[in-house]
């Protein structure tokens, strides 16, 4: 028993291999093979050439929506409605996306940018993951 208030729990990263933090802020972490193939999420063996000369690279932070939908039933980590889909990163791979943007902007071809922040909680601890947002919203900074 303690009589002090419980301090808020430190946020944790969803996974320690999918995000990179540098002076430029957060990016998705990709695996670039010597053959040029880029994978996300990161891999140890290139699925294209089976090579293991893999370098971790920052993936582009912007892209366009390739496909999108809004889910109207609850998921393990989200209350409805929430939106998911795929984003074609600018000059990069196509990645699965959780979207946090208005329905009016959620359309194939719409430009989006990466945002890294707590998206849900596990036992009271915020979990930091990635999502994509539209461009007309001010950055959370």
Per CB under 8 A, does 39 bind another protein?
yes
Q: Which of 41, 51, 91, 118 touches another protein by CB under 8 A? A: 41
Q: Which two tokens stand for residue 114?
A: 């990466």
Contact status: 76 vs another protein (CB under 8 A) = yes
Q: Is 9 in the site for another protein (CB under 8 A)?
A: no
How far CA 137 is from CA of 105, 107, 141, in Å, comes to: 11, 16, 11
Q: Mark the segment that binds another protein (CB under 8 A) among 2-10, 24-32, 56-64, 127-135.
A: 127-135
Tell me the backbone φ, ψ of residue 11, rounded to 5 degrees: -65, 150
Does 21 sit near another protein (CB under 8 A)?
Answer: no
- Asked if residues 14 and 26 have their Cβ atoms less than 8 Å apart, the reply is no
For the bound state, the minimum distance from the C-beta of residue 67 to another protein, rounded and expressed in Å, comes to 4
125 lies in the site for another protein, by CB under 8 A: no
Burial state string for 13-36 with b = 16 or more CB within 10 A and e = fewer than 16: ebeeebbbeeeeebbbbbbbbeee
Site residues for another protein per CB under 8 A: 14-15, 18, 39, 41, 47, 67-73, 75-78, 82, 84-86, 93-94, 96-98, 108, 119, 129-131
């Amino acid at each position: 028993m303690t009589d002090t208030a419980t301090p808020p729990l430190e946020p944790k990263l969803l996974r320690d291999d999918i995000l990179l933090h540098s002076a430029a802020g957060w990016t998705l972490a990709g695996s670039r093979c010597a053959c040029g193939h880029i994978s996300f999420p990161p891999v140890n063996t290139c699925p294209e050439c089976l090579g293991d000369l893999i370098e971790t690279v920052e993936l582009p932070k912007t892209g366009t929506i390739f496909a999108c939908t809004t889910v109207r039933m609850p998921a393990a980590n989200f209350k409805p409605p929430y939106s998911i889909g795929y984003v074609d990163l600018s000059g990069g791979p196509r990645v699965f996306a959780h979207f946090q943007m208005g329905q009016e902007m959620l359309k194939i071809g719409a430009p989006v940018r990466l945002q890294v922040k707590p998206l849900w909680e596990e036992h009271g601890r915020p979990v930091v993951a990635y999502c994509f947002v539209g461009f007309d919203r001010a950055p959370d900074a």
